[in-house]
Amino acid sequence: MAKTVTIRMDDDTYEAFSTLAAQERRPLGKCIEMAAYRYLRHNAFVDDEEMDAILRDQNLVRRLRQGTADAKARRGRFVKV
């Protein structure tokens, strides 16, 4: 179910989104939603090509599995940075 969110933005950002919305003939809210979604997809998740590269690296996959097993078994130590 869709949610309603209220945001505050400066005039320049609002104008940029308003111009984009007019050019694309879309509602302002939809332009903001798509921009946020694209940002998340680009910055928060691994794309299919990158995931394929990760899964092809057998040494990395082995180390990730070992690290997961160690964490579940509470082996190792935490290092404060």
62 alpha carbon, distance to own chain's centre: 25
pTM over 0.85: no
**What is the pLDDT, as a whole number, of residue 2?**
86
**What is the pLDDT, as a whole number, of residue 16?**
97
Neighbours of 59 (CB within 10 A): 7
**What is the pLDDT, as a whole number, of residue 79?**
79
Compute the chain's Rg from CA coordinates. Answer: 21
**What is the pLDDT, as a whole number, of residue 44?**
81
**Domain-wise residue ranges, the chain:** 11-43, 46-74
**What is the pLDDT, as a whole number, of residue 45?**
81
Q: How far apart are CA 4 and CA 74, in angstroms?
A: 41
pLDDT per residue as tens, the chain (81 positions) = 889 999 999 999 999 999 999 999 999 999 999 999 999 888 888 888 989 999 999 999 999 999 999 999 988 887 787
Neighbours of 79 (CB within 10 A): 5
Asked whether the beta carbons of 24 and 34 are under 8 A apart, the reply is: no
